[in-house]
């Protein structure tokens, strides 16, 4: 199956623009569920999306190029907190929307009941691979709020991920789902991993389970413990502690 075949699953959907999507399902505080599928299985499932599902369309495009640069300490504090499932953990990254030349600096933390809390500020897309002074001040304030002393922490670009994303709006649950393809990871030293055969589906819902979750469950797919940052860095660095992502690494990154 080709990427064009997967795209055809979304071709008949009604579009939704960004302003309406944000108004209907911003979900900055949410429950995330992630699923890793090969492209053949993804296409087989996603052709059965619920009636009324809409797809984000920007300037006529329904598949948008994303780039994320993750910042961590030289000894990978952020990675290790995630790998060991520490309650007070963080993920700092720039998120660039390459088709629109927009970028944000985002801090993701863990909220109550395993919810993900994401906060972000506008960022110059030209600075997406660096922490500016304002970016560092934002990160320090967020870390301090978690009870982590930022004064002795160096934060450096550690991993870059790139992919194509299609975003779905699910009106029945007022939630979103994203479908990521053309996945690649690049470490700070230039080593690169590409997995064009994989699809990561992520549902982002509030109190109600989304239609895409129920569709995937009905077809035998269950959420996976996967993180583009954690799993990608572990795949590029096999010596890192990675038990949290071991099943996904064995099945999809061996």
- What the block records as the tokens of 66 is 């994303």
* Banded model confidence at residue 1, pLDDT cuts 50, 70, 90: very low
- When pLDDT is cut at 50, 70 and 90, the band that residue 132 belongs to is very high
Mean pLDDT score, 33-60: 93
- Closest C-alpha among 19, 195, 165, 184 to residue 99: 165
- Arithmetic mean of pLDDT over the chain: 91
pLDDT value of position 113? 54
Question: Does pLDDT of 253 surpass 60?
Answer: yes
pTM above threshold 0.85: yes
In this prediction, residues 176-188 reach a mean pLDDT of 96
Mean pLDDT of 100-108: 95
Look at residue 34 and tell me whether its pLDDT is greater than 90: yes
Does residue 121 register a pLDDT over 90? yes
Q: What's the pLDDT band for 85 if we cut at 50, 70, 90?
A: confident
CATH of domain 3-252: 2.40.320.10
């Amino acid at each position: 199956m080709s990427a064009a075949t997967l795209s055809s699953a979304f071709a008949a959907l009604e579009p939704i623009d960004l302003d309406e999507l944000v108004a209907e399902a911003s979900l900055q505080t949410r429950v995330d569920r992630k699923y890793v599928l090969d492209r053949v299985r993804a296409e087989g499932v996603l052709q059965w999306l619920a009636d009324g599902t809409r797809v984000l369309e920007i300037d006529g495009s329904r598949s948008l190029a994303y780039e994320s640069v993750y910042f961590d300490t030289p000894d990978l504090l952020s990675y290790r907190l995630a790998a060991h499932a520490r309650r007070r953990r963080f993920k700092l990254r720039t998120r660039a929307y390459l088709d629109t030349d927009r970028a944000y600096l985002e801090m993701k933390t863990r909220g109550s009941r395993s919810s993900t809390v994401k906060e972000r500020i506008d960022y110059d897309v030209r600075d997406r691979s660096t922490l500016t002074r304002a970016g560092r001040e934002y990160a320090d304030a967020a870390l301090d709020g978690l009870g982590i002393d930022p004064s002795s922490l160096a934060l450096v670009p550690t991993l870059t991920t790139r992919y194509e994303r299609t975003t779905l709006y699910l009106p029945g649950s007022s939630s979103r789902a994203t479908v990521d393809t053309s996945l690649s990871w690049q470490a700070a030293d230039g080593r690169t991993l590409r997995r064009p055969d994989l699809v990561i589906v992520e549902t982002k819902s509030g109190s109600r389970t989304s239609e895409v979750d129920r569709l995937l469950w009905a077809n035998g797919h269950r959420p996976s413990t996967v993180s583009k940052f954690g799993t990608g860095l572990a795949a590029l660095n096999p010596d890192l502690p990675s038990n949290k992502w071991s099943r996904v690494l064995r099945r999809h990154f061996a």
